[in-house]
Amino acid sequence: MPNVAAFLSYVFITTFTPGPNNIMSMSNASRYGFLKSLPFNIGIFFGFLVILALSSLFSVSLYNVIPSIKPVMTVVGAVYILWLAWKTYHSKPHDSSGSGEKQTNTITAGLLLQFVNPKVILYSITTLSTFVVPYYSSIPVVIAFAVFLAFVGFVSTCCWSLFGSVFQRFLHSHQKLINSAMALLLVYCAVSLFL
């Protein structure tokens, strides 16, 4: 049986710390409000669940393959995160035409982010191969862990969205400063992949 305290602290600390999912969730909610940011968060949930399910089912083989895949995924992920930083820095509070919402605040955008988000991929593989697969071999139990982890991720992005929507007026009045800070956090996320 895994160390439950270590498992839960790793899961909650890793999930709730700033990363592309949380920063983009907060950014979307500050621009569109909490309810309109939910499609992006739902996309994150489903993308995260798919990554976790794949990691659950193939964690042993992926663990052996990761050294050759990690550099490529790191570069692709870093480029995508830097693109998100650029979009965040140049974003407006709300595009009344709705075109900004279509680009960054959709289920598809949240879902696709997971497939190029190295934090999610490495988190999934690390969590499952360290805390789950060595102790549980039943596919339904491993999948239940994947659903639990995806749900924790969903709660995390919703919390960040709630923060973004509650402080929407403040964020709008200090838009350039906030966008710069969020963009710098995303740049930090991208750079930290190589450290």
**Is residue 98 over pLDDT 50?**
no
The count of C-alpha atoms lying within 13 angstroms of the C-alpha of 147, restricted to the half-sphere facing its C-beta, is 6
List helix spans (H) across the chain: 4-16, 20-32, 34-89, 99-104, 107-115, 118-127, 139-166, 168-173, 175-192
Give the total residue count for the chain. 195
Question: Which tokens go with 104?
Answer: 């960054």
Position with higher pLDDT, 8 vs 17: 8
- What is the residue-averaged pLDDT of the chain? 79
- What pLDDT, on a 0 to 100 scale, did the predictor assign at position 22? 87
pTM of the model: 0.72
Token output for 62: 């992926």
End-to-end CA distance of the chain: 32
User: For residue range 143-190, what is the model confidence (pLDDT) as tens digits?
Assistant: 899 999 999 999 999 999 998 888 777 767 887 887 788 788 778 767
Other Cβ atoms less than 10 A from the Cβ of 57: the count is 15
Residue keyed to tokens 């992920």:
77
Mean per-residue pLDDT, 87-95 = 67
Residue 24, both tokens: 């983009």
Query: How far apart are alpha carbons 150 and 148 in whole angstroms?
Result: 5
Mean per-residue pLDDT for 44-67?
77
